[in-house]
Amino acid sequence: MGPDPKDSNQIMSRNATTFPSAVIFFAATVWGLYWLPLRVIEQAGLTGVWSVFAINAAPAIALLPLAIWRHKAIRADLVPIMLIGLLTGCGLVCYSIGLVYSTIMRATLLFYLTPLWSTLLAYFIFRERAGWQRWVAIALGFAGLCLMLSEGSGSANSIGIGDAAGFMSGILWGLGTVALRRWPHVKPLDTVPSQFLFGTISALAFIAVTTGIVETAPSWSVWRETLPVIIPFHVLLIVPSLFAIFWASQRISPGRAGILMMSEVLVAGISAPLFAGETLSGLETAGAVLIIAAGLVEVFGSSQSAKA
CB of 32 within 8 A of CB of 271?
Answer: yes
Q: Quote the CA–CA distance of 101 and 81 in Å, as a whole number.
A: 30
Asked whether the beta carbons of 72 and 187 are under 8 A apart, the reply is no
Q: Give the residue, 105 or 66, on which the prediction is more confident.
A: 66
Letter for the amino acid at 14?
R
The pLDDT score that the predictor gives to residue 196 is 96
What pLDDT band is residue 9 in, cutting at 50, 70 and 90?
very low
Lowest mean pLDDT among 35-49, 82-96, 152-166: 152-166
pLDDT at position 130 over 90: no
**CA nearest neighbour of 42 among 127, 99, 125:** 99
Query: What is residue 187's predicted lDDT score, i.e. its pLDDT?
Result: 92
At residue 214, φ and ψ (nearest 5 deg) are: -65, -40
Q: What is the pLDDT of residues 174-209, one digit of tens each?
A: 888 888 888 989 999 999 999 999 999 999 999 999
For the chain, the domains span 32-307
pTM of the model: 0.82
DSSP H helices, 183-250, are 188-210, 213-216, 220-230, 239-249
Q: What is the largest CA-CA distance in the chain?
A: 78
